[in-house]
Amino acid sequence: MAARFLILSAGMGSGHDAVAAELARRLQAAGHHTARADVLELFPAGVGSGLRSFYRTAVGRLPALYAGVYATFLRPGHGPRPGSAPLAALADQGLLALVRRERPDVVVATFHLAAQLTGRLRARGALRVPSAVVVTDFAVNRQWLHRGNDIHLCLTSSVAERVRRAVARPAVVSGPLVGERFLHPPGGAQDWGERLCGTSGGPVLVSAGAWGVGTRIADTARLVSAAGFLPIVLCGDNPRLRRALARVPGALAPGWVDDMPGLMGACRVLIDNAAGQTALEALAMGLPVVGYRPIPGHGVAGVRAMAALGLSDHPRDSWSLLRSLDTLAPPGPARDRRIAAGRALLVGDVVRQLESLAGGGRPPPAPETGARHGVG
């Protein structure tokens, strides 16, 4: 029987929107109705855009400030600590009005602030339909966790176990929500390969995310180029970064790339700084990932967690980075093992889990009892 799903994302870069879009595609392919909304637009006028601007400025230009914000409000830990509940409360009425309009059977959060919003409303009884949280991070910060939500859908079994311990609610493995074009790429890699040939080590993709943020990205490209590889740097919408890379001999900065599967298929390694959606897309494509000079806060935590799971390398200096490239770029057992580990993530069935929730197959939400284990 067809169900109705309301998916809450957030325009913080492009990763959460990409997850929401892929989730909607899968649900629609299964015959369900979906609606999507940006949780930032549910806040009073100016609040959501202000949050986005602050986050972008802090990550891109004031990394120490963002690291402090993450440590204070998001980093996992025990005991009473400040959270985002007062902020999430500002969007209560916006979400409830949207629910009345869309009449969903399930509300699904793909961003941590949305998870706090749905969890609060479920715990109070104001949100009368089940809520699910799609956790998109390897390192689960506190704001993903609220025991009012009915279920958390997680990338790996270890993430799911941490969530279950924290909220005492169901948490299952759904795997990464990666677009169909990364699971079954159309074959543009040959075209990219012809354009990118000419270096002994081969092309290496360097990601700075949709906003083109990171630490010393041009220096990383210079190092990669000097080692005999061809760095292709994804600058997002950051023209300043593109101008800086134009001064790096041997580096390419193609601007916004629509054919990401084709480009990834032509590259040998991804150098990533956030352990986010681009890294997950690379794993699905069979492209080994190296986490280097991560952005502060969730980037550092995610890169470390991803490496601890054996899904990526996390070199701490330039020599270690070059060793990782020399090991993973050429064909061989090390590259094969890394590719197999990444593709082993693609095991979950998020649609089945959400269908079960829509059909009443999960326990009711727990009452709100205040913070425990640092959970909102």
Q: Give yes or no: residues 97 and 204 share one domain.
A: no
Helix 92-102 × helix 112-124 angle, to 10° = 80
Is 13 inside any structural domain?
A: yes
Q: For the sheet containing 229-234, what is the strand order? A: 229-234, 202-207, 269-272, 289-291, 312-313
Is 367 inside any structural domain?
A: no
Is 40 inside any structural domain?
A: yes
Contact 372, 119 (CB under 8 A): no
**pLDDT value at position 200?**
81
Q: Give yes or no: residues 12 and 161 share one domain.
A: yes
Q: Give yes or no: residues 261 and 130 share one domain.
A: no
- Report the distance separating Cα 276 and Cα 124, nearest Å: 32
Is 363 inside any structural domain?
A: no
Is 288 inside any structural domain?
A: yes
Q: Give yes or no: residues 166 and 53 share one domain.
A: yes
**pLDDT value at position 368?**
44
Q: Give yes or no: residues 334 and 188 share one domain.
A: yes
Q: Give yes or no: residues 84 and 148 share one domain.
A: yes
Is 369 inside any structural domain?
A: no
**pLDDT value at position 171?**
96
**pLDDT value at position 198?**
73
**pLDDT value at position 374?**
39
Write the CATH number for 95: 3.40.50
Q: Give yes or no: residues 188 and 337 share one domain.
A: yes
Q: Longest C-alpha distance within the chain, in Å? A: 62
**pLDDT value at position 83?**
67
Q: Are strands 312-313 and 289-291 parallel, antiparallel or unpaired?
A: parallel
- Report the distance separating Cα 285 and Cα 343, nearest Å: 8
Question: How many residues belong to the chain?
Answer: 376
- Report the distance separating Cα 172 and Cα 153, nearest Å: 5
**pLDDT value at position 194?**
76
Q: Give yes or no: residues 145 and 220 share one domain.
A: no
DSSP for 36-63, written as a single string:
EEEGGGGSSTTHHHHHHHHHHHHHHH-H
**pLDDT value at position 224?**
97
Is 259 inside any structural domain?
A: yes
- pTM score: 0.92
Is 376 inside any structural domain?
A: no
Q: Give yes or no: residues 187 and 323 share one domain.
A: yes
Domain of 163 in residue numbering reads as: 4-175+347-358
Q: Give yes or no: residues 322 and 217 share one domain.
A: yes
Write the CATH number for 311: 3.40.50.2000
Per-block mean pLDDT, blocks of 10 residues, the chain (376 long): 96 94 97 98 95 92 90 75 77 97 98 96 96 96 94 96 95 94 77 79 94 94 96 94 94 89 95 96 97 95 96 97 98 97 92 94 45 41
DSSP for 173-241, written as a single string:
E------HHHHS--STHHHHHHHH---SSEEEEEE-TTTT--SSHHHHHHHHHHTTEEEEEE-TT-HHH
Tell me which residue of 183, 234, 184 sits closest to 213, measured CA to CA. 234
- Report the distance separating Cα 71 and Cα 69, nearest Å: 6
- Report the distance separating Cα 277 and Cα 268, nearest Å: 18
Look at the chain and report how many structural domains it folds into: 2
| 343 Cβ contact partners less than 8 Å away, ≥ 6 residues apart | 283, 284, 286
- Report the distance separating Cα 127 and Cα 238, nearest Å: 39
Contact 259, 281 (CB under 8 A): no
Q: Give yes or no: residues 155 and 225 share one domain.
A: no
- Report the distance separating Cα 187 and Cα 191, nearest Å: 8
Q: Give yes or no: residues 150 and 271 share one domain.
A: no
